[in-house]
């Protein structure tokens, strides 16, 4: 028992920590160099961005609607982003946990490419994290729980990266919900 406690102390693990959380953090630290941080990893410094205020209560469509293609709505307001690809970009940021004032590329093509790449990386993340998690825990449910904790750490780092202030490029514009 003392030997186990000494080893736990040496590795920085406390007795009151959740083992799934500890394993999730280890998995994230192990694989974070292989996973890009969205969206900053794919936005050039000179990209023209538009600041859009999207509150947490806004409804973002999952599929391309027949009418009002680029619209994001709350109960009382709406904002027209112009293209469904830009709506998908906002949905990607929402998945990561970014709400409020969001910087969206003016180029719908660029926004679509980043959103597509994010979806691909989500799938790759699951397979890489499952492989790493199997070294720390056994059982499908435990591996799934560790992968979700690692994904939460990835999203947290993406959110910190997205909210990090960079030098303002000359092409910033503002768009608010009306």
pLDDT of residue 109: 92
Verdict on whether the full-model pTM lies above 0.75: yes
Q: Give the distance, in angstroms, between the CA of residue 6 and the centroid of all CA atoms in the same chain.
A: 36
pLDDT of residue 119: 93
d(CA 12, CA 88): 40
Q: Is the peptide bond before 109 cis (omega within 30 degrees of 0)?
A: no
Q: Where are the domains of the chain?
A: 47-175
Q: What are the mean pLDDT values of the chain's consecutive 10-residue runs (178 residues total)?
A: 66 72 92 91 86 86 84 84 91 90 91 93 94 92 95 94 66 55
| Residues 6 or more apart in contact with residue 19 via CB below 8 angstroms | 137
**N-to-C CA span, the chain:** 63
Residue 68: strand, helix, or coil: coil
pLDDT of residue 133: 94
pLDDT of residue 5: 63
> Quick check: 103 and 133 in contact, CB under 8 A?
no
């Amino acid at each position: 028992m003392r030997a186990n406690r000494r080893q736990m102390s040496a590795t920085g693990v406390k007795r009151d920590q959740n083992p799934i959380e500890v394993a999730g953090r280890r998995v994230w630290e192990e694989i974070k160099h292989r996973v890009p941080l969205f969206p900053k990893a794919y936005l050039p410094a000179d990209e023209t961005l538009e600041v859009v205020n999207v509150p947490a209560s806004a409804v973002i469509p999952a599929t391309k609607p027949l009418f009002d293609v680029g619209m994001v709505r709350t109960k009382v307001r709406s904002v027209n982003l112009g293209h469904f690809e830009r709506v998908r970009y906002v949905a990607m940021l929402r998945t990561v946990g970014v709400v409020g004032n969001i910087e969206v590329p003016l180029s719908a093509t660029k926004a679509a490419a980043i959103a597509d790449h994010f979806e691909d990386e989500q799938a790759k993340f699951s397979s890489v994290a499952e492989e790493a998690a199997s070294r720390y825990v056994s059982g499908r449910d435990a591996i799934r729980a560790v992968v979700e904790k690692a994904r939460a750490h990835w999203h947290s780092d993406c959110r910190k990266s997205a909210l990090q202030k960079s030098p303002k490029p000359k092409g910033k514009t503002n768009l608010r919900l009306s």
